[in-house]
């Protein structure tokens, strides 16, 4: 488990360094969450990515695409050599996920807040059709400053979407600094509860705690997993440093990060 997560982290660093572009901090904070979802929770088949009974995952914080691609490659959705093409001309591995280019990507995302709306619509459609599929989405806590996030959350509660799980990557930082300095989110757990979600607060790097939260029964309402994470997790000089939100490491920084990992 730890070794796969470490390999995914190395993939993220490698991809962004080779592309001289990308988002490292918020990708590194998601590794354990993505590993639990793709290897322990979701009903998916890399050999049949569009099977009708599959569960759906939507990365609303689409700028963290590197962690999605690294996870998909480890799961077997495509050859790992393709990671070398990240953000390069003609690649399937766009800077933000593109469902028209890559199998395993359910929605093209990156416009913050909109991925949640897509996921809620997907969950509503499945529920209206009496289908058992489940829908999972990850948002960044800074992304919650978008009004569309709250509209989608109201809809999820109103329609009692007990097939929908929202994961909040609560690393406390965004591109311009600390969330509390940019636009305070207040008591996230209380807000999500007031919007009609069952909320579970967990350490976003503790896979046992994450798995337990994902497996908690749905109570005729949507679920929110409030995952406390560390931006840049795994690389000492990137951890809790908002400057690593969206920049590529230098050769020296790359070598230092890879050595640590």
Positions of the chain with pLDDT under 70 = 1-2
Is 58 strand, coil or helix? strand
Structural domain boundaries of the chain? 2-260
Distance between CA atoms of residues 112 and 63, nearest Å: 9
For residue 198, the cross-strand partners are 223
The CATH number of domain 2-260 is 3.40.30.10: no
Task: Report residue 43 CA to chain centroid gap.
Answer: 17
Residue 118 near residue 111 (C-beta atoms within 8 A): no
Q: How confident is the model at residue 1, as a pLDDT?
A: 53
> Which residues in 141-194 belong to E strands, given as ranges?
164-170, 173-174, 177-178
Name residue, tokens 């070398």.
84
pLDDT > 70: percent of the chain = 99
Q: Mean pLDDT in the chain?
A: 97
11-14, Cβ contacts within 8 angstroms, sequence gap of 24 or more: 11/66, 11/69, 11/70, 11/73, 11/83, 12/66, 12/67, 12/70, 13/235, 13/249, 13/254, 13/257, 13/258, 13/261, 14/83, 14/258
Contacts of residue 243, defined as CB under 8 A and 6 or more positions apart, other chains included, come to: none
């Amino acid at each position: 488990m730890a070794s796969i997560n470490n390999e995914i982290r190395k993939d993220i660093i490698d991809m962004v360094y080779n592309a001289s572009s990308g988002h490292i901090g918020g990708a590194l904070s998601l590794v354990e969450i993505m590993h639990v979802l793709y290897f322990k929770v979701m009903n998916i088949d890399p050999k049949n990515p569009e099977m009708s009974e599959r569960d759906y995952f939507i990365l609303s914080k689409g700028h963290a695409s590197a962690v999605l691609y690294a996870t998909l490659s480890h799961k077997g959705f495509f050859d790992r050599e393709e990671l070398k093409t990240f953000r390069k001309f003609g690649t399937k591995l766009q800077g933000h996920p593109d469902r028209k280019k890559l199998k395993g990507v359910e929605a093209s995302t990156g416009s913050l807040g909109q991925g949640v709306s897509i996921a809620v619509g997907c969950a509503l459609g499945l529920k209206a059709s009496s289908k058992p599929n489940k829908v999972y989405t990850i948002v960044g806590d800074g992304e919650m400053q978008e009004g569309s996030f709250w509209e989608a959350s109201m809809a999820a509660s109103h329609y009692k979407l007990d097939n929908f799980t929202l994961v909040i990557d609560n690393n406390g930082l965004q591109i311009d600094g600390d969330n509390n300095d940019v636009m305070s989110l207040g008591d996230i757990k209380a807000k999500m509860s007031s919007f009609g979600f069952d909320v579970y607060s967990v350490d976003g790097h503790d896979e046992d705690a994450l798995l337990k939260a994902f497996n908690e029964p749905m109570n005729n309402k949507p679920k929110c997993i409030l995952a406390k994470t560390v931006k840049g997790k795994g690389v000492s000089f990137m951890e809790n440093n908002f400057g690593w939100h969206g920049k590529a490491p230098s050769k020296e920084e790359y070598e230092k990060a890879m050595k640590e990992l």
